[in-house]
Amino acid sequence: MAQPYSIDAQISMIQRGAVDLITIEELRRKLERSTTTGKPLQVKLGLDPTAPDIHLGHTVVLHKLRSFKNSVIT
């Protein structure tokens, strides 16, 4: 099993390249709760993959979600 990243390391990875983010305190609380309860943190993106206005620019958000997913794997 991979060693989990510290909460500070996770926050640093999530912040990298982000423009808007919930408050760091709120993110820290959510990550700590996820760690103590063992329940995975849910992250959602409101995107309709069948919409005609989907373009390559949306891959930026998808890459960020992938980065976030990889930073919190335990």
Domain assignment present for residue 1? The answer is: no
Distances (CA, A) of 12 to 8, 26, 37, 48, 68: 6, 14, 22, 29, 10
| Eight-state DSSP code of residue 21 | -
- 59 domain residue, yes or no: yes
Could you tell me which of 28, 40, 25 has the C-alpha nearest to residue 74? 40
pLDDT tens track of the chain, all 74 residues? 455 678 888 888 878 777 777 788 988 898 889 888 988 878 777 888 788 888 888 888 888 788 777 665 54
CB-CB contact of 13 with 5 (8 Å): yes
pTM of the shown model: 0.61
- Number of structural domains found in the chain: 1
Q: What is the pLDDT of residue 2?
A: 53
Range of the domain at 28: 7-71
DSSP code of residue 17:
T
